[in-house]
């Protein structure tokens, strides 16, 4: 496929300043797209922004993705990242905190499946993102879920959604997770369910971070109890109640603990 010719036919397309073989187009007022050919010219690396678009951030992201594309998809062909990304400051001079570029494969994004299905296999989406939003081990189904959960098209987003899987049951609220294992959720839901454990004997919350480390929290005898619960790949044996002896913990310490583990850069941050 002649990708240059295809992109040249997009509505309102113009060259993207500062990057060769790159373009900007806006088919409608609220949608902004930018794309660049891969280093070998065989794929279109593309990003989008809704309502608000930053040309310098787009150029920096596409340039990084072009240079590091093999690394981005080396460990995960569906949804991969490369670290070491340094985004430009905003027009107001404020520092941005994105630290990776994420790449999204065609089988995940399914872009152009209606307008131009033949183009879809040749397009990889790339966005500035945060390292702790991804594990690098996502299955295809998990990659699709994460892609739909994250607001990657919001160039000004400052509130990352950490990689978080959770399973819970609460005897007081009579609510529980309906999936057989831990499922993706948002951090605010984890905080809510940890708070709701109070005065709910027999209830529990399990949560998993991007490194696969798992913790279990229970309410027992008027206190929150926290235990390390092994890993996603190696949960405790059925006859073992906890992977570590549970310890009593105050609520605010528990919430700080959970937040730190969701943002841990190294897998060894446990306790």
80 and 136 Cβ atoms separated by less than 8 Å: yes
pLDDT higher than 50, residue 240: no
111 and 126 Cβ atoms separated by less than 8 Å: no
Confidence band, pLDDT 50/70/90 cuts, at residue 239? very low
Determine, yes or no, domain membership for 212.
yes
Same domain, 80 and 18: yes
pLDDT higher than 60, residue 134: yes
pLDDT higher than 70, residue 243: no
Range of 197's domain?
165-262
Question: Mean pLDDT across the stretch 59-88?
Answer: 97
Phi, psi of 81 (to 5 degrees): -135, 160
Greater confidence (183 vs 245) lies with 183
pLDDT digits (tens, 9 = 90+) for 226-238: 998 877 766 555 4
Determine, yes or no, domain membership for 156.
no
| End residue of a domain, out of 149, 183, 203 | 149
Same domain, 98 and 34: yes
Q: How far apart are CA 157 and CA 136, in angstroms?
A: 22
Same domain, 255 and 178: yes
Q: How far apart are CA 235 and CA 164, in angstroms?
A: 17
Question: Mean pLDDT across the stretch 71-98?
Answer: 93
pLDDT higher than 50, residue 117: yes
| Residue 92: per-residue pLDDT | 85
Phi, psi of 16 (to 5 degrees): -90, 115
Same domain, 13 and 131: yes
Task: Give strand ranges (E) for 99-243.
Answer: 100-104, 123-129, 165-170, 175-176, 183-184, 204-208, 213-220, 223-231
| Residue 233: per-residue pLDDT | 66
Same domain, 26 and 127: yes
Max Cα-Cα span within the chain: 69
Q: Cα 17 vs. chain centroid, distance in angstroms?
A: 29
Provide the 3-class DSSP secondary structure of residue 113.
Answer: coil
pLDDT digits (tens, 9 = 90+) for 140-179: 999 999 999 999 999 888 889 999 999 999 999 888 887 7
Determine, yes or no, domain membership for 224.
yes
Q: Count Cα atoms within 13 angstroms, Cβ side, for 115.
A: 7
Q: DSSP secondary structure string, 248-263? A: EE-HHHHHHHHHHHHT
Same domain, 21 and 143: yes
Same domain, 208 and 136: no
pLDDT higher than 50, residue 125: yes
Total of domains in the chain: 2
pLDDT higher than 90, residue 45: yes
Determine, yes or no, domain membership for 155.
no
Confidence band, pLDDT 50/70/90 cuts, at residue 223? very high
Determine, yes or no, domain membership for 158.
no
Same domain, 53 and 134: yes
Question: Which DSSP letter does residue 176 get?
Answer: E
């Amino acid at each position: 496929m002649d990708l240059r010719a295809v992109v040249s036919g997009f509505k309102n397309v113009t060259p993207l300043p500062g990057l060769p073989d790159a373009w900007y187009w806006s088919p409608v007022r609220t949608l902004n797209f930018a794309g660049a050919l891969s280093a070998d010219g065989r794929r279109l690396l593309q990003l989008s922004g809704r309502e608000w678009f930053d040309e310098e951030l787009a150029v920096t992201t596409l340039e990084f993705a072009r240079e590091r594309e093999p690394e981005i998809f080396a460990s995960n062909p569906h949804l991969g990242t490369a670290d070491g990304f340094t985004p430009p400051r905003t027009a107001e001079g404020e520092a941005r905190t994105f630290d990776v570029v994420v790449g999204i494969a065609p089988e995940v994004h399914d872009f152009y499946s209606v307008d131009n299905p033949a183009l879809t296999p040749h397009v990889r989406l790339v966005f500035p993102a945060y390292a702790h939003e991804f594990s690098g081990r996502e299955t295809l189904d998990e990659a699709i879920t994460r892609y739909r959960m994250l607001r990657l098209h919001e160039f000004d987003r400052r509130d990352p959604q950490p990689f978080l899987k959770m399973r819970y049951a609460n005897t007081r609220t009579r609510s529980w997770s309906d999936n057989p294992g831990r499922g993706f959720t948002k951090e605010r839901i984890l905080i809510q369910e940890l708070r709701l454990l109070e005065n709910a004997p027999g209830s529990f919350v399990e949560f998993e971070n991007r490194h696969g480390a798992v913790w279990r929290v229970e309410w027992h005898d008027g206190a929150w109890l926290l235990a390390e619960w092994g890993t996603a790949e190696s949960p405790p044996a059925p006859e073992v109640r906890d992977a570590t002896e549970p310890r009593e913990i105050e609520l605010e310490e528990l919430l700080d603990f959970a937040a730190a583990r969701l943002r841990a850069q190294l897998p060894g941050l446990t306790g």
